[in-house]
Amino acid sequence: MHTRTFRGWWLLLAVLATAFMVSGCNRMTAEEAQWRFEEGRKREAENNLVGALANYEAAAKGKFDQQAQALTDAARVAIAVKEYDKAIQSYTFLVQQFPFQDVNFAAPGEPENRQKVREYVGTFADHNPNGPFYAAEKLADEKNKSNWAYKTMDFLVALTGRNPYYSYALAILIFTIVVKVAMTPLTKSQLRSTIKMQAVQPKMKVLQDQYKDKPEELNKAVMRLYKEEGVNPFGCAMNMLVQFPILIGLYQVIRLYNFQFRQGYFLWITEKFGSMAPGIIGKNLAQPDTILLVLYAVSMYISTKISSVPTTDPQARQQQQMMSIMMPVMFLFVLKSFPSAFILYWLVFNILSTWQTFHLMKAHAHHFPTPASGNGSAATVDAPTGKTPVKGPARTTARRKRK
């Protein structure tokens, strides 16, 4: 059993996020996608907009000549049935994948409105204020105003003065601090589980050597060792599973308020600097920002290094080193199109987590294995009970008492 780092679940999150981004492409053949697209046109002609939307969305997931048109039609019909989130998703993929393609933005039967995606819709970082993408986000914002998460973020913005140059960033900061304080018990519980797992690693190594040819007896001995040491092997995983839906929910809070973040700035994230370096610096907190993303990746690297529990297992150390490099690099690609408001939230959250983890690790440093006690040669484990036999003066004293 290899050691896991304290924040190792970030790797799982990165893999899931990457799989989510990749999913939706190449799920069907070009022939099936074309058939779905034509079915969507038929349903729309029959005024069955819900059925048309389902077919357009399915067609847009396949690679075929009219994929860009399928995305355009899916977004247009989604707005008609007030499925604004679906419209935003379709426009997002459209401007990312087909920025220079000409498509017809008009409904069948209406005068043709053929426009180039980049000019009419805008780019992902800078939507056209007169285009359909901006209109979809505005409609979604009106719908989101009744949501409690939206109201919470709006309250924090109002509480800090609703000043575009600092209120929106301060609202994210306050929100992040509250969330981090609320999640502190889970963080401590996860660290305790990790420390306990680390503490039994030397004894685990001894058991693996003793029962290397007896897997069933090894499993029993390991379970016995866990029970005697008070270790829950699923403790870390359970804490991760609890935190994961919470973090996803927090992303939804930022996403619901994203249209309003167009009015917010943060240090260099302003109209002035964004115009000087388009595509690198965001013009507002609703747009991606490369500098902020790089800062987040650096903070993740530092956090991973600090939160890695010391281990005497060379293979586990190598895994920790690889993870500390792989995760920041992966997140640079996974989050490159995310709004800077969300990246700012993650950056602040990561800084707070690193500070908290550093102090917790320092307080529990005496529980960590050292090279002297962790190489497996300083302790042996009895086969019947799994307990470490007593050696030295203590054992001699016990014999004298028996005599």
Q: Give first-to-last CA distance, the chain, whole Å.
A: 42
Rounded to the nearest integer, the mean pLDDT of the chain is 76
Residue 249's pLDDT is 72
User: With 90 as the cut, is the pLDDT of residue 53 above it?
Assistant: yes
Residue for token pair 């995760």 = 327
Q: Which amino acid is at 255?
A: R
Residue 395's pLDDT is 46
Residue 116's pLDDT is 92
Q: 307-352 pLDDT, tens per residue?
A: 665 555 566 566 666 666 777 777 777 777 788 888 898 888 888 8
User: With 70 as the cut, is the pLDDT of residue 296 above it?
Assistant: yes
Q: 83-110 pLDDT, tens per residue?
A: 998 998 899 889 888 989 999 998 888 8
Give CA–CA dist 332/311, Å, rounded: 28
Give CA–CA dist 299/293, Å, rounded: 10
Instruction: Give the mean pLDDT of 2-16.
Output: 43
User: With 60 as the cut, is the pLDDT of residue 289 above it?
Assistant: yes
Q: 366-396 pLDDT, tens per residue?
A: 555 554 444 444 444 444 444 444 444 444 4
Highest mean pLDDT (candidates 52-56, 212-216, 260-264): 52-56
Residue 137 or residue 222, greater confidence: 137
User: With 50 as the cut, is the pLDDT of residue 134 above it?
Assistant: yes
Query: Which tokens go with 118?
Result: 């980049």
Q: What's the chain look like in SS3?
A: CCCCCCCCHHHHHHHHHHHHHHCCCCCCCHHHHHHHHHHHHHHHHCCCHHHHHHHHHHHHCCCCCCHHHHHHHHHHHHHHCCCHHHHHHHHHHHHHHCCCCEEECCCCCCCCCEEEHHHHCECCCCECCCCHHHHHHHHHHHHHCCCHHHHHHHHHHHHCCCCCCCHHHHHHHHHHHHHHHHCHHHHHHHHHHHHHHHHCHHHHHHHHHHCCCCHHHHHHHHHHHHHHHCCCCCHHHHHHHHHHHHHHHHHHHHHHCCCHHHHCCECCECHHHHHHCCCCCCCCCCCCCHHHHHHHHHHHHHHHHHHCCCCCCHHHHHHHHHHHHHHHHHHHHHCCCCCHHHHHHHHHHHHHHHHHHHHHHHHCHHHCCCCCCCCCCCCCCCCCCCCCCCCCHHHHHHHHHHC
A 10 A CB-CB count for 245 gives: 9
Domains recognised in the chain with CATH numbers? 24-143 (1.25.40), 171-367 (no CATH)
Window from 29-33, 187-191, 240-244, 284-288 with minimum mean pLDDT: 240-244
Residue 244 or residue 46, greater confidence: 46
Residue 114's pLDDT is 92
- Is the torsion defined by CA of 184, 189, 193, 199 positive or negative? positive
User: With 70 as the cut, is the pLDDT of residue 251 above it?
Assistant: yes
Task: Please state, for a pLDDT cut of 90, what percent of the chain lies above it.
Answer: 18
Residue 309 sits at φ, ψ, to 5 deg, of -70, 130
Window from 13-22, 75-84, 143-152 with minimum mean pLDDT: 13-22
Residue for token pair 């399915």 = 58
**381 burial class (0-12, 13-18, 19+ CB within 10 angstroms)?**
buried
User: With 80 as the cut, is the pLDDT of residue 217 above it?
Assistant: no
Residue 355's pLDDT is 82
Q: 59-88 pLDDT, tens per residue?
A: 998 888 899 999 999 999 999 999 998 998
C-alpha dist (Å) from residue 372 to 200, 220, 368, 377: 14, 27, 12, 9
Strand partners, 114: 104
Give CA–CA dist 79/17, Å, rounded: 26
Q: pLDDT grade, residue 399 (50/70/90)?
A: very low
Q: pLDDT grade, residue 11 (50/70/90)?
A: very low
Q: pLDDT grade, residue 157 (50/70/90)?
A: very high
Residue 317's pLDDT is 60
Give CA–CA dist 331/23, Å, rounded: 17
Q: 35-44 pLDDT, tens per residue?
A: 999 999 999 9
Q: pLDDT grade, residue 6 (50/70/90)?
A: very low
Instruction: Give the mean pLDDT of 161-167.
Output: 90
Q: 175-210 pLDDT, tens per residue?
A: 888 888 887 777 777 777 776 776 677 777 777 777
Window from 25-34, 251-260, 376-385 with minimum mean pLDDT: 376-385
Burial 50-63 (b: 16+ CB within 10 A, else e): ebbbbbbbbbbbbe
CB 297 within 8 A of CB 333: no
